[in-house]
Amino acid sequence: MTGPGTNVILVGSMGAGKTTAGRRLAEALGLTFVDTDALVERAAGAAIADIFTRWGERRFRAIERRTIARAVAGSGQVIATGGGALMDPRNRARLLGGGLTIWLAARPDVMAARLRAAADRPLLNERDRSETIAALLLEREPFYRQALIHLETSDLTPEQAVANLLRRLRPPAAAVTVSSSQGDYAVEIGWHTLSAIGPRLAALGRAGQVGVVTNPRVGALYAKRVLSSVQAAGLRPFLINVPDGERYKTLRTLGRIYDELVRRRFERGDTLLALGGGVIGDLTGFAAATYLRGVAYVHVPTTVVAQVDSSIGGKTGVDHPAGKNLIGAFHQPVLVYTDVSTLATLPRRELIAGLAEVVKYGVIADDAFFSYVEAHAEAILGRVPDVLAEVVRRSVELKAGVVERDEKEAGLRRVLNYGHTIGHVVETCTGYGAWRHGEAVAVGMDFAARLAQRMGLCSAELVRRQRALLERLGLPWTPPAIAPAKVTRTMALDKKVARGRVHFVLPEDLGRVRIEPVEADAVAALWREGGRAARGRRP
């Protein structure tokens, strides 16, 4: 499911099945089961009904509040909460922010039937329990709906409810095949699959040395697991640590990788493995493309950007002080091995930044996918496993469909640069540090949409809808304080310049874009307008 260090929190009315399902779910996931009502009774030294009788509901809620605070401070748990726990604002903040929340819902008559023999429910002393439950549900349902996963249990057995939740918490594996001139390769998408990378490399026929390129932050989380798996499969792994961040995607860092490969007497039959995000993938791929005139490499992406975009298609390279990705080569991986559960440890800002590429796919290729992201924005931000896996899978399908038809970016593939023309300007002019790649792309997408609207290519509604989704996902859209002249000078070095004119990817409708040359003066004028509105806001 979500791995060590996280909680699954069940909310809902009494009789919805939180305790029964919670015990079984915890067992299936290998987590600890915690029932907050039981903890309240232990803390008070009395049954809940007795607490209500002796001291009243106010005393019960005070004990419950302290109990919940202690429970969510733990990790690796399935926590079943009392029916009224979310009514308290402090409980609500702790529970909704303390793990993956699941609302178990049921019809009032079903809950009443389940509680027919219960004598320990102090709020159900009225004659018509079904009416009482319905009244409580009417009051509480708006708060239950804030949970990230909703499951109607009225017509499910406990076994069926748990099976349903397990499918959502442990999504099935998927694979997308990408065809290229260097041969087909698979993008394998799974959940908690990282420990099986070694056998997968062996099954591919890889042998000898495996140079695992990563950075200290990712390495601290996953390198030991990868190295152990690779070694257990009979290969000889070693680690190459490079500094973390876009500003280190340089020829100097590439030289450090070369030096280590030379020192290790790395051969053409050996394998490089990129463990990390887009920067690690670009560096490792370019090293693989150029060392000994080409060695095999595998990408194990651990960020949203890498999983949905940069690991697919064979683009590799490094930055130059004058511009992003000016030095590079096309070199396809032999495998992209994606463990979506690694996104659980991704810092929130990195998660959000990567979602710009997800929105991009909806705009350029699939309006239904754009709608899916709109409908599941909160679940995506909440890292609901099956939703994240579906976002990655569909993004990979969409990118694969483009790069297969235009491997070397001769025409169609340029649509993948939507938002990137201005995005690269933002990154270059702010020094590859202040703005994440996805944040800069989000600014570029909004700029491109406004440019398209001004040129009569798209509607104001498209601009509004795209901007609204970017905002819901926490992405910026207002440009930073960069002089218009500097914007146009930097654009002049972009790879998309042809005959002195910058070509923009511009939306016509959701799912459909076109590429048009745009004069520098038009870009500068629109940039000034955005700059006046933004006042130099940073993400």
Over residues 96-154, the pLDDT tens digits come to: 999 999 999 998 888 888 776 555 555 555 566 677 888 888 999 999 999 999 999 99
∠ CA 171-356-249, nearest 5°, is: 100
Angle between helices 48-55 and 36-44 (to 10 degrees): 50
Residues with Cβ within 8 Å of 401's Cβ and at least 6 positions away in sequence, in order, are: 365
Q: Work out the average pLDDT over 200-210.
A: 97
Question: How far, in Å, CA of 154 to CA of 336, rounded?
Answer: 41
Residues recognised as catalytic: 293, 315, 357, 399, 409, 413, 417, 420, 424, 437
The yes-or-no verdict on residue 12 having pLDDT over 60 is: yes
Question: For the stretch 25-35, what's the b/e string if a residue is b when 16 or more beta carbons lie within 10 angstroms of its beta carbon?
Answer: bbebbebebbb
Q: Mean pLDDT across the chain, nearest whole number? A: 91
Tens-place pLDDT, residues 370-419: 999 999 999 999 999 999 999 999 999 999 998 888 776 667 778 999 99
For the segment 294-324, what is each residue's pLDDT rounded down to a tens digit?
A: 999 999 999 999 999 999 988 999 988 887 7
pTM above 0.75, yes or no: yes
Query: Which strand (E) or helix (H) includes residue 273?
Result: strand 271-276
- Write the CB contacts of 118 (distance below 8 Å, at least 6 apart in sequence): 124
Q: Is the dihedral of CA 125, 131, 135, 141 positive or negative?
A: positive
Compute the distance between CA of residue 536 and CA of residue 539 in angstroms, rounded to an integer. 10
Q: What is the pLDDT averaged over residues 513-522?
A: 91
- Give the pLDDT of residue 531: 59
Higher pLDDT, 494 or 191: 191
Mean pLDDT of 337-356: 95
pLDDT of 85 > 90? The answer is yes
Domains of the chain: 7-169 (3.40.50.300), 174-346 (3.40.50.1970), 403-534 (1.20.1090.10)
Q: What are phi and psi of 5, to 5 degrees?
A: 90, 5
Residues 6+ away with beta carbon under 8 Å from 336? 178, 185, 186, 187, 188, 298, 299, 300, 301, 311, 312
